[in-house]
Structures are given as C-alpha cells and as structure tokens.
C-alpha cells in the first residue's frame, strides 16, 4: 500500500511529462489524457483512503522511502513520503477538485490552440502539490512548494501574449520568492538546530530548542505561508493572478495551492505551539488579511477579482484558526476543505458566466442571468449560501467553529479577534450578496462584446464571438456543468457531514492534536450572533444593490471604496516601499559602481598611464643621461649597502 | 723587517732556484662544453677567412650548429656523470666551477643559442638581391650607411657571415660567466661575451643608423658598468686578499687563516661593502635591472631582431647565473646587507618595467620593458636566499628565455616594405589576416603575463613561492601587482591583434624558412610543456641547485 503513495504523485507527473514533451501528435487526446491521469490519481487517493480507514486512529499514518536523495555526511535528504490523516485530507481535496476542474477545462479551453500544454501544466501542478503534502521532510516539501510556484507562474501567464497576464505571472513569481526565501531560511535553521529536516524528528524534538530559535523558525515559516497563501503583507499577487484562465483560478488560486500556507503552519504545529510570539504573529496576519480581503472584495466590479478578495479573506480565517494552536488546527483544515468546495464552485460558476457573456468580467454589465443560465445560477447560489454561512450549509459549520475558537482564545485578544472574525462574516455576507445580485438579479445591463484590440485584458473569445456582438447568454456544456454540480453537493453537505459526530475532529485529531478552548461566550450565543451579522450583511447588500438598479458605470464612491478598488493601495504601497526604494538603492549602487569602483579602477589605470608617460620621458635617448642615471644608481646602491650595515 | 725589505726578499726569492711556477692543471674534459664552443668559433673565423664567399653561409651554419649540439651533448654527458651533484668541483685551478647550476645554465644557454642561431640563419624574409638570399644582417659591416660602398656591397649580395663566429664567442663567454668561480674569470667572461654582442648589435641590414647608435650606446654603457665591476673587484681583493669566491666567503665569515696582511684589511668593512655593491651593480647592468636598465629599450630596438632575441634570452640566463653564484657563494655572509638593497632594486625593477611598458608603441621596446619587469620578478627569487630560490630562478630563466626567443622570432615575420613593422598600430587586426602567427604570438604574450598552463605561470609561481617562503612576502605582493599591470599591456596587444580591424595597407606576414619555423615551434612547445608539466623540469632545477665552493 505504501508504494501507492509514489504512484499518487507519479500519475500526474507522467501526464505532465507526456503532454509537455509529446508534441502536436497528442493535441487531439491530450486533454482527456490529462484528465484521465488526474482521475487515476484521485482513484489511488480513494484506495489509500479506504485502506487508511481500515486502521485505527493512531496507526493510520504510513510512510515509504523511495531513495536517498542527498546523502552528504550528516546532511541526509531522502525522497520519502508520509501519508497521515492531514496529508490524506489534502490528497483527496487536491485530486478530487483537481479532477473536476480538469473535466471543466476540457469544455472551457476547447477553442484554445494550446490546450494540450494547459493540461500539461495542470498535471504538473497536481504532481507538485501532491508532493508538497505527502513529503515527509521539509526539503522535499520545499521541492513541491517550488513546483506549485512554477506551475502557478506558468498558468497565470498562460495567455502570455497579453502583457497583463505576463506581468501578473511575473508579479506572482517575484512576490512568492520572498516567501520562498522564508521557507528556505526556516529549513536551514531547522538543520542547524536539529541536524535534520524530517518532520518526525524535528517536530518531536521541538521542545529541546530554545524559544528564540523556534520563534525564528516560526516567523520564517509564516513568511513562507504569507507568500503562498496571499496573506498580508505578501497578498498583492493574488488579485492579478486572476489573469490566468478561470479553471486555474478555481483550482490553484482558490481551492488548493493558496492553502499550502495553512498546511505548512498546521504541519509545523508543534513548533508554533512552543513559540507563542510566532503564533501571535500568525493570528495577527490572519485577522488583518480576513478583513483586508473582505473589504477589497466589496469594491471590485470584476467578478473574479471580487472572488479573489473573498479567497484571501477566507484563507485569513484559516490562518487565524491555525494561529490559535490546538484549539484551531482542525477547524482551519475543515474550513480549508469546505472552502475548497464552495470557492471552486463559485469560480467555476464565474467562468461559466463569462463563457456565456463573451468573456465579460465586469459585473456591472451582467444582470438577470438566472433565467438564462439556470444550472450555473443554482450551483453558484448554493456556493454563495455556503460561503456566507447560511445555516446548514458547509460554510456555516466551518466558519462558525473558527469564530468560536477565536473567542475561545480568551482574554482581550480573544474578544478582539473574535469581533474581527464576526465583522468579517458580516462583510462576507455583504460582498457575496452583492456579487449574486449584480450577476443574476436585476435588469439586463449587457453590453456588446468589447473590441478585442481595445480590451486586450479580456480573455480570448472562447467561442469565437465577434467583437461588437451582443452577448447571448446560454448554459455551458455538460463538461462544465457537471463539475459545478458535484462541487455544489460538496458546498451543501460537506460541513454537515464533517460536523456529524465531530467526525472530522476525530479524523484529524491524532495528527494535529485538539483541545477545547474555554470561550467566554456559549456556542449558541456565537452561532446566533454569527447568523445575525450574516443577515445584516445580506440586508445591507440588498438595500444597496437589490432594491435599486445597479449603475453600469461605477459611481465615484467613498474614499474607502476607491481605496478598496485599488486593493487598499497595496500596489502603491509596494511601489513606494520596495520598487522606488529598490530603484533608488540600485541607482545608488550603480552610482557607487560608476564613480567609486570604476573611478578607483579607472583612476588607477590613469595613474599608471600618467606615470608611464612621465617615466618614459626619462628615456631620452642620450647616453650621457643614461650614464648619469647609472652613476646615480650605483651611488645609491653603495650608499644603501653601507646604510644597511650602519642600521644593523 | 721593513716593508721594502719584504718586497725585496719576495723579489729575490722568486728569482731564486727553489721557486718554480707550476703549470696550471686544467681538466679539459670537464671544461669541454665551453672548449667545444670556442673551438667552433675559431673554426668559424678560419672558415670565413679562407672559404669562398658563396660557401661560407653553409659552412658557418654547419659549424655553429655542430658546435652547439656538441656542447650540449658534452653538458649532458657531464651531468649524467654526476658532475652536477656529487662530483661537482672547481676546475682549472679554481677558476671555473663544474657544478649543478653551472651545467644547468650552460645547457640552457647552449640550447637557447642553438635556437637563436636558427633565427640568425633565416634567409627567406629579406628580398633577394642579385639572386642571392640575404639575412637580417648588413651586407658589409665596414661600409658607411648610405654610402656607395654599401650600395655596391648590397648589390653584390654580400652577407656578414661573421655573425656566426661572433655569436659562438659570445656563447662561450656566457657559458663561463655563471660558472666563473673567481672575480677575474668573471670579468674576463663578461668581456668575452659583451664585445661580440656590441658588434652584433651594429650589424642590422635595415635602419643601420639606429642599429649602430644602439651598438655605441650599449658599448659605452657596458664599458662604464665594466669599470664599476672592475673597481669593485679591486676593492674586494683589497679586502680579502683573494679573488676566489670561496676565499672571499671565508674571509667574510672569519674562517680563513689570519695572516698579518689580512688582519689589516679584513677589519675594513667599507672595502667589502663598497666592493660588493659595485660588483653587484656590474651584474645588475647586464640583467637590465632598474636603475641600470636605460640601455635595454634602445639596444633592443636598434639591434637586429634575431640578435635582440638572443641577447634578451641568453644574456639574462648568464648574468643571473653569475649573480646567483656571487651572492650565494662569495657573499652569503653579507646577505643581511645586500638583501634589503636587492629588495629595493627588485621592487623598482618590477614597477618601472611594468609601468613604462604601458605606454610603449613599438613592439620591440615593449618587449624590452617587459624583459625589465621580468628581471624584477627573477630578482624576487634571487632574494629568497633558499635552495628553492636558486632552483626557481633557474627554472624561470629556462622558461623565460624560450618564450622571449619565440616572441622576437615572430616579430621578424611581420613586415612591410621598410622591413619589420614594429609599430604596434601596424599589428592591428593581425589575427584576422594571419590567425596562426597571431595565435602563436598570443601564446607567448600569455606566457609573459603568467597565465596558467603556460611556462610563464609555472616560473612566476615558483619564483614568488620561493620569495614568500624566504620571507619576502611584500616583494611578492608588489610582484603580483606589477604582473597585473603587465597583464594589461600584454593583453592589449592580443586585443589589438584579434579585436580590431586590420588597416588596409597593413603589414604582411612573411613565410619563413624551416629555420625560423623551428625556432618558433620550439618556443611554443617549451611554453606549453613547461606550463602543463613543469614538475620534471622543476625537479631537474632542484637537483642542480647546489653551488660548489
């Protein structure tokens, strides 16, 4: 059974290799091959899952070593896998949602000439992401970590002919590098502290290290998580990443890759548990991000960017929960899974809407689509209800638990973060209702398809719509609707199933550990408050966007709205803080290089040259001068010899 | 007994029956390398005197090559019979040393001279006159430049075949120079090899005025320095009462049996120090060390290029050999006095040579300054005062002399209507026109610059290592910095040859006879072999690094 773990990773890796190296011969079947291999991986995951369920809680983890990768004296790195309940959860999410999105992409990318390559990248992503979650040491995890970063880069910039996509890919890559440096430093610290970077020995002997070291490792891991999971302050790339094809946004930038940071923190729980300062930092980052993302999500008119803000915010919830320690780990992962379902569903729904609307992304040009795209409307609606935490649906259970845990943190900070989480829930209800109303309700505000040249940022016309044509919204083909339907089931039932008899808690507890916090508020109070603020959020949204018509051109808006439209000035901040400072720094260095270093070099050369031309004038060609110089030289020689004796 | 009575008694005793001057005992076999060369030189003079003009060239070439090959063979035989190590001793009544350094350096000199003779004998580069091939030497040395007589001699296709015996005499003197074990032999050897060189310098076929000017300068300054040397010898004799290196060393160290006469002078260190410094100066003049270098650029430029190559290579070997023997055999007791002085000279020589070379525009002058800088590098090894110092200097000399010969041989090939095109601007783009010649020259330049995988690197490394081990680290630092400056002008020539456009009326590269080709090929091969596999030769120099007393 252990050998199957390797197969889990190998299947999509094989797909990537075949599809990327195979050439045009595979153009006609490439997408189905890719989907098949993703499905294979999912089936292997299910087999492993069934096998795992056959064992009792403590003995569920299995591991295998493939080969010794870097055997250098005390530096031993193996390619070895470990599959425990935490990894298993991710494996099922990744392969399950991944397979659905492969299927969806078959329809979505039908008219793209480079579809085979797209599926190759998707398979590459799956392989890397699976490697990330089944690795049994940090170094191998780092390989997967970089692998998903590469896949993400390639897929964001998949339409590289669009400068905006190419730029977005570069931005994502560079911002992620900052986080990656954090991870590599954390791994180095682990090696110098523990002499190894395998999970089991590192985490088991975490208590032997000083708290300072653990805080250092924890903060570096947090930096890594911030990069990959788009948390403040490394959040700026996620909005732009929506330049990628919508299935990519659904799979990588909503359901799976962006949650890798949560996985990393949860996996490294024993380190964070012993480093309270690092934990506090995690909580602060999570809280700030959940509000940040929510506020940005309120102001965006681009449906994908609104959803991207929402993703950021929801991952903020997860990070917050992970920062709470053992009272939160399980709920972080639970929310991660339910979010994987409903956010992927929402993105696929958004993709379906765009598919029907000539790839229009501006919600102000949607409206009244519920009649034209009933399946999309229903599945999207269920995802919507799930994310706002409508009682009984997935998000209700998972988010509610996180808010409870936040209050259970205790003390003043418990109140602060609990309140923030509640506020976030209200804003979530507001912006999601706004998306829902602007897209599916109200009047038609459709516009002719933008001219392809005039709007280069629009996705290429999926079904060859001519520019200037009025959209004819229609339901998408089965390959797109089926995944949406399946994900809608997940959005509806996952939370309920997980919460039934605390099944998810019992499943994950052996790995992450769990303890109940002591909340100053009763669970019922928290739940009631959560539902109340949710209703308020929905009501406000209805007052603004449901009761009166939505203007096609966005109103000027308040200062906060305008700031939120600009992603709360994140790019302006980065520009001033890093780009300008960096360019000043480089300019300074260039100046130093030109004037200082080059000056020194050229100055030396000039000095030598000048000296040379002066000294060669002594060579005047007259024997008498030469003889005099010789005589002088001889005199000096004699004098020096005598002087040496006198001195000595 | 009064002083005059002493003189009188000596006088009368010498004239008496009981006193006979013994015939000197001379080990002819052990001196055979030098004797063969001198024999060949005398034979050459006879050949020039009695053979008809047409057959002189062939005969001279044959005699020279045979003499040099024979001498080299004799060196090898002596070395293999252990004269370089355990049988090393002083021959000819203590006048000439037969030991490791002497044989190693003699072998080097003979080999260098053999290659040089090939370039002397080159007769394909100059245009034919009256159907006769001519060489780099003037048609008739006695003809005034520009005179009718010269034109007639040129038209008649005369050549100066006397250069061969002259060279052989010089070679003989150079071979004795590093082997000389007393000051008088040293002086005689110096004159024996200097005088033919003065003559050779004056014999250029083209630009004869420049050539003659160079010769006169060389002669005057050489005579000037010889005077210093001779005066130094006199002072040393005055101090030690002997001219033999070993004897002087004994007096300096106080191990010599004290005679009343010696007791009076040996206390006078001023005699010793001034005399030592003056002898040193005479030798530094020959190696071209600053501040006694002024003759080098002018003479190198004016002399016929094959002679320049010969001088630059062989003279340096001989002079450094003599310098080593003087410092290590005669004056080791004085090393705390001469070491700091030589430090200064070495630093000055490296720095001045490297810096002034930067602005040179004539390739022969450039190589002259380069040779000054190299003299400085070698001096750094001399200063080491360790056995490693001796062997590294000898290795450097061997490596350097073949590179130098090769480089000057290449210079003879690049020509235009006025003869050799020595101005550097004329060399622009040579790499495009004659890639092979330019590449070969580039190899030599890289060896001069001391780039790894060339003999220049191995030599420089050995010398600097010996100097550092001998406690002269600052000298090494200055040496490395000077090498960096020197690398600039060597590489500038490479850049000029390969990365600039050739001028439309640039010089042509003449196709030489197999003689010059052999010389250049020998240079390239030794450069590469000594660069890649220096160990054997370093060991050889190491084994031959013990001076006999």
- What pLDDT score does A457 carry? 40
Which phi and psi angles does A443 have, rounded to 5°? Answer: -95, 165
Which phi and psi angles does A66 have, rounded to 5°? Answer: -80, -60
pLDDT digits (tens, 9 = 90+) for B161-207: 999 999 999 999 999 999 999 999 999 999 999 999 999 999 998 88
A623–B221: do the CB atoms touch at under 8 Å?
yes
Q: What is the mean pLDDT of residues A483-507?
A: 90
Query: B297 and chain A: CB distance < 8 Å anywhere?
Result: yes
- What pLDDT score does B418 carry? 82
Q: What is the mean pLDDT of residues B323-329?
A: 94
pLDDT band for B9, please (50, 70, 90 cuts). low
Greater confidence (B36 vs B334) lies with B36
B357–A648: do the CB atoms touch at under 8 Å?
no
Best A634, A644, A646 member to test B by mutation, with max B CBs in 10 Å, is A634
Residue of A nearest to B348 (CA): A633
Number of A/B CB contacts below 8 angstroms equals: 95
pTM of the model: 0.65
B336–A621: do the CB atoms touch at under 8 Å?
no
- What pLDDT score does B493 carry? 94
| Nearest Cβ partner for B278 among A609, A613, A638 | A638
**Bond before A233 cis per omega within 30 degrees:** yes
A612–B216: do the CB atoms touch at under 8 Å?
no
Question: What is residue B97's three-state secondary structure?
Answer: strand
- What pLDDT score does B3 carry? 58
Reading the block at residue A334, the tokens are 């639970």
| Nearest Cβ partner for A611 among B270, B280, B355 | B355
Among A71-80, B293-302, B428-437, the least confident range: A71-80
Rounded to whole angstroms, how far apart are CA atoms A430 and B142? 114
Residue of A nearest to B345 (CA): A637
- What pLDDT score does B16 carry? 53
The pLDDT mean for chain A works out to: 89
Residue of A nearest to B224 (CA): A627
Among A403-407, A567-571, A638-642, the least confident range: A567-571
Long-range contacts formed by A562-570: CB under 8 A, 24+ apart: A562/A299, A564/A295, A564/A296, A564/A298, A564/A299, A564/A300, A565/A299, A565/A300, A565/A301, A567/A236, A567/A239, A567/A296, A568/A292, A568/A295, A568/A296, A570/A235, A570/A236
| Nearest Cβ partner for B281 among A616, A623, A637 | A637
Best B283, B286, B288, B359 member to test A by mutation, with max A CBs in 10 Å, is B359
Query: A3 and chain B: CB distance < 8 Å anywhere?
Result: no
Distance of CA B279 to the CA centre of its chain: 17
Orientation angle between helical segments A394-408 and A303-323, nearest 10 degrees: 40
Instruction: Output b/e per residue, B198-224; b: 16+ Cβ within 10 A.
Output: bbbbbbbbebbeebbbbbbbbbbbbeb
Closest chain A C-alpha to B390 CA, distance in angstroms: 22
pLDDT band for A463, please (50, 70, 90 cuts). very low
| Nearest Cβ partner for B221 among A626, A644, A645 | A626
pLDDT digits (tens, 9 = 90+) for B485-537: 999 999 999 999 999 888 888 888 888 999 999 999 999 999 999 999 999 99
Query: A630 and chain B: CB distance < 8 Å anywhere?
Result: yes
Q: What is the mean pLDDT of residues A82-103?
A: 94
- What pLDDT score does A462 carry? 45
A616–B356: do the CB atoms touch at under 8 Å?
yes
Identify any residues that bridge with A563 across adjacent strands, giving them in sequence order.
none
Note whether B224 and A627 are within 8 A (CB).
Answer: yes
Rounded to whole angstroms, how far apart are CA atoms A415 and A421? 10
Closest chain A C-alpha to B360 CA, distance in angstroms: 8
- What pLDDT score does A262 carry? 95
Rounded to whole angstroms, how far apart are CA atoms B354 and B348? 10
B269–A645: do the CB atoms touch at under 8 Å?
yes
Q: What is the mean pLDDT of residues B383-389?
A: 88
Three-state secondary structure string covering B154-188: HHCCCCCCCHHHHHHHHHHHHHHHHHECEHHHHHH
pLDDT band for A590, please (50, 70, 90 cuts). very high
- What pLDDT score does A452 carry? 47
Residue of B nearest to A641 (CA): B337
CA angle (B17, B20, B25) in 5-degree steps: 165
Rounded to whole angstroms, how far apart are CA atoms A298 and A286? 18
Query: B358 and chain A: CB distance < 8 Å anywhere?
Result: yes
ipTM (interface predicted TM): 0.90
pLDDT digits (tens, 9 = 90+) for A522-560: 888 999 999 999 999 999 999 988 888 888 888 888 888
Closest chain A C-alpha to B459 CA, distance in angstroms: 25
pLDDT digits (tens, 9 = 90+) for B258-285: 888 788 777 788 889 999 999 999 999 9
**Residue A59 buriedness (CB in 10 A; 0-12 / 13-18 / 19+):** exposed
Reading the block at residue B336, the tokens are 């705390």
Distance of CA B392 to the CA centre of its chain: 17
Taking the alpha carbons at both ends of chain B, their separation in whole angstroms is 36
What are the C-alpha distances in Å from B68 to residues A133, B36, B38, B97, B164?
81, 8, 10, 20, 11
Nearby residues of A333 by Cβ (< 8 Å), 6 or more positions away = A86, A89, A262, A266, A318, A504, A508, A512
Residue of A nearest to B302 (CA): A621
- What pLDDT score does B10 carry? 55
Greater confidence (A597 vs B173) lies with B173
Identify any residues that bridge with B362 across adjacent strands, giving them in sequence order.
B423
CA quadruple A126, A94, A180, A201: dihedral sign: negative
Residue of B nearest to A617 (CA): B356
Rounded to whole angstroms, how far apart are CA atoms B462 and B525? 20
- What pLDDT score does A71 carry? 84
pLDDT band for A468, please (50, 70, 90 cuts). low
Write out the H or E segment, with its range, that includes residue B349: helix B335-357
Q: Name every chain A residue with its beta carbon within 8 A of the beta carbon of B352.
A: 615
Q: Is the pLDDT of residue B1 over 70?
A: no
Query: B216 and chain A: CB distance < 8 Å anywhere?
Result: yes
pLDDT digits (tens, 9 = 90+) for B68-121: 999 999 999 999 999 988 888 999 888 999 999 999 999 999 999 999 999 999
- What pLDDT score does B19 carry? 65
| Nearest Cβ partner for B276 among A611, A633, A641 | A641
- What pLDDT score does B8 carry? 56
| Nearest Cβ partner for B338 among A630, A631, A641 | A641
Three-state secondary structure string covering A71-102: EECCEEEEEEEEECHHHHHHHHHHHHHHHHHH
What does the domain layout of chain B look like in residue ranges? 331-542
Note whether A313 and A253 are within 8 A (CB).
Answer: no
CA quadruple A457, A460, A463, A466: dihedral sign: positive
Q: Name every chain A residue with its beta carbon within 8 A of the beta carbon of B295.
A: 626
CA quadruple B343, B479, B456, B518: dihedral sign: negative
Question: What is residue B322's three-state secondary structure?
Answer: helix
- Ramachandran bin of B360, using left for φ above 0, alpha for ψ from -120 to 50, beta for the remaining angles: beta
């Amino acid at each position: 059974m252990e050998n199957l773990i390797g197969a889990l990773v190998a299947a999509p890796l094989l797909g990537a290799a075949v599809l990327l190296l195979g050439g045009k011969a595979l153009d006609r079947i490439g997408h189905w091959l890719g989907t098949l291999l993703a499905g294979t991986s999912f089936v292997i995951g299910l087999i492993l899952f069934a096998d795992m369920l056959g064992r009792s809680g403590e003995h569920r983890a299995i591991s295998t070593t493939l080969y010794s990768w870097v055997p250098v004296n005390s530096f031993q790195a193996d390619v070895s896998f470990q599959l425990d309940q935490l990894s298993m959860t991710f494996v099922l999410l990744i392969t399950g949602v991944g397979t659905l999105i492969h299927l969806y992409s078959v329809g979505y990318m039908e008219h793209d000439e480079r579809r085979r390559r797209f599926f190759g990248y998707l398979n590459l992503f799956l392989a890397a992401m699976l490697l990330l979650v089944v690795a049994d040491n940090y170094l191998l995890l780092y390989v997967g970590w970089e692998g998903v970063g590469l896949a993400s880069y390639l897929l964001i910039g998949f339409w590289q002919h669009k400068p905006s996509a190419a730029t977005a890919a570069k931005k994502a890559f560079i911002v992620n590098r900052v986080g990656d440096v954090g991870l590599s430093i954390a791994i180095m610290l682990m090696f110098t502290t523990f002499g190894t970077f395998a999970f089991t020995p590192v985490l088991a002997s975490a208590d032997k290290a000083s708290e300072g070291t653990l805080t250092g490792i924890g903060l570096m891991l947090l930096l890594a998580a911030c990069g990959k999971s788009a948390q403040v302050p490394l959040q700026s790339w996620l909005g732009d990443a929506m330049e990628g094809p919508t299935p990519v946004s659904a799979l990588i930038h909503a359901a799976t890759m962006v949650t890798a940071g949560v996985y990393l923190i949860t996996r490294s729980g024993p380190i964070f548990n012993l480093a309270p300062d690092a934990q506090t930092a995690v909580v602060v980052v999570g809280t700030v991000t959940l509000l940040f993302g929510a506020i940005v999500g309120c102001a965006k008119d681009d449906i994908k960017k609104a959803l991207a803000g929402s993703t950021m915010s929801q991952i903020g919830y997860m990070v917050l929960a992970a920062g709470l320690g053992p009272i939160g780990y399980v709920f972080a992962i639970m929310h991660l899974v339910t979010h994987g379902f409903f956010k992927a569903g929402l993105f696929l729904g958004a993709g379906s809407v765009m598919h029907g609307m000539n790839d229009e992304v501006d919600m102000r040009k949607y409206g009244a689509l519920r009649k034209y795209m009933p399946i999309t409307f229903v599945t999207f609606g269920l995802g919507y209800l799930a994310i706002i935490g409508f009682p009984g649906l997935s998000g209700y259970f998972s988010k509610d638990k996180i808010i409870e845990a936040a209050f259970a943190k205790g003390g003043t900070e418990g109140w602060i973060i609990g309140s923030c989480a509640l506020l976030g829930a209200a804003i979530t209800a507001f912006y999601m209702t706004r998306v829902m109303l602007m897209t599916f309700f109200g009047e038609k505000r459709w516009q002719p398809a933008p001219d392809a040249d005039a709007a280069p940022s629009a996705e290429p016309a999926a079904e060859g719509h001519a520019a200037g044509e009025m959209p004819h919204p229609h339901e998408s083909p089965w390959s797109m609707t089926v995944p949406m339907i399946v994900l809608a089931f997940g959005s509806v039932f996952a939370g309920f199933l997980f919460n039934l008899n605390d099944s998810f808690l019992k499943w994950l507890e052996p790995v992450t550990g769990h303890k109940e916090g002591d909340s100053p508020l009763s669970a019922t109070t928290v739940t009631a408050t959560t539902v109340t603020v949710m209703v308020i959020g929905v009501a406000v949204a209805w007052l603004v966007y449901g009761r009166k018509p939505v203007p096609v051109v966005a109103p000027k808006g308040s200062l906060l709205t305008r700031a939120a439209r600009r992603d709360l000035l994140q790019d302006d901040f980065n520009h001033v803080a890093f780009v300008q400072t960096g360019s000043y720094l480089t300019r300074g260095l260039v100046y130093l290089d030109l004037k200082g270093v080059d000056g020194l070099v050229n100055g030396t050369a000039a000095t030598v040259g000048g000296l040379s031309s002066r000294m060669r004038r002594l060579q005047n060609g007259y024997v008498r001068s030469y003889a005099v110089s010789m005589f002088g030289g001889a005199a000096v020689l004699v004098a020096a010899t005598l002087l040496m004796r006198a001195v000595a | 007994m009064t002083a005059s009575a002493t003189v009188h008694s000596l006088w009368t005793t010498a004239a008496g029956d009981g006193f006979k001057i013994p015939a000197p005992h001379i080990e002819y076999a052990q001196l055979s390398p030098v004797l063969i060369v001198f024999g060949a030189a005398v034979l050459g003079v006879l050949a020039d005197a009695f053979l008809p003009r047409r057959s002189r060239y062939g005969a001279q070439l044959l005699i020279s090559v045979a003499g040099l090959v024979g001498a080299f063979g004799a060196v090898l035989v002596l070395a293999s019979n252990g004269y370089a190590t355990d049988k090393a001793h002083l021959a000819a009544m203590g006048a000439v040393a037969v030991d490791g350094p002497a044989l190693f350096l003699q072998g080097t000199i003979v080999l260098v001279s053999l290659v040089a003779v090939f370039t002397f004998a080159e007769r394909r580069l100059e245009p034919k006159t009256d159907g006769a091939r001519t060489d780099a030497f003037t048609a008739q040395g006695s003809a005034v430049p520009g005179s009718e007589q010269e034109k007639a001699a040129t038209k008649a296709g005369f050549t100066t075949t006397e250069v061969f015996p002259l060279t052989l005499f010089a070679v003989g003197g150079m071979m004795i120079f590093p082997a000389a074990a007393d000051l008088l032999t040293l002086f005689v050897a110096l004159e024996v090899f200097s005088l033919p060189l003065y003559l050779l310098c004056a014999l250029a076929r083209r630009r004869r005025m420049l050539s003659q000017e160079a010769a006169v300068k060389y002669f005057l300054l050489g005579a000037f320095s010889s005077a210093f040397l001779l005066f130094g010898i006199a002072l040393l004799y005055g101090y030690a009462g002997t001219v033999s290196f070993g004897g002087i060393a004994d007096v300096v160290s106080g191990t010599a049996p004290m005679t009343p006469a010696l007791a009076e002078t040996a206390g006078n260190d001023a005699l010793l120090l001034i005399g030592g410094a003056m002898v040193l100066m005479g030798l530094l003049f020959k190696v071209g060390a600053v501040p006694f270098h002024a003759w080098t650029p002018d003479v190198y430029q004016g002399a016929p290029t094959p002679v320049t190559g010969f001088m630059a290579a062989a003279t340096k070997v001989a002079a450094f050999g003599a310098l080593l023997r003087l410092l290590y055999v005669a004056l080791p007791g004085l090393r705390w006095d001469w070491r700091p002085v030589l430090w200064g000279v070495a630093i000055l020589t490296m720095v001045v040579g490297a810096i002034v070379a930067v602005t040179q525009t004539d390739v022969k002058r450039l190589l002259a300054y380069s040779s000054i800088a190299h003299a400085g590098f070698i001096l750094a090894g001399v200063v080491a005062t360790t056995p490693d110092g001796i062997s590294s200097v000898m290795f450097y000399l061997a490596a350097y002399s073949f590179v130098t010969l090769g480089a000057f041989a290449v210079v003879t090939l690049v020509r235009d209507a006025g003869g050799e095109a020595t101005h550097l601007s004329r060399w622009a783009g040579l790499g495009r026109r004659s890639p092979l010649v330019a590449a070969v020259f580039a190899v030599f330049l890289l060896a001069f610059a001391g780039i790894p995988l060339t003999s220049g690197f191995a030599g420089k490394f050995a010398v600097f290592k010996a100097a550092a081990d001998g406690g002269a680290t600052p000298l090494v630092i200055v040496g490395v910095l000077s090498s960096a400056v020197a690398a600039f002008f060597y590489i500038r020539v490479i850049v000029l040859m390969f990365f600039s456009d050739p001028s439309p009326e640039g010089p042509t590269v003449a196709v030489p006879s197999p003689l010059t080709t052999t010389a250049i090929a020998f240079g390239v091969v030794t450069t590469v072999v000594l660069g890649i596999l220096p160990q054997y030769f370093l060991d050889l120099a190491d084994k031959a690094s013990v001076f006999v007393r």
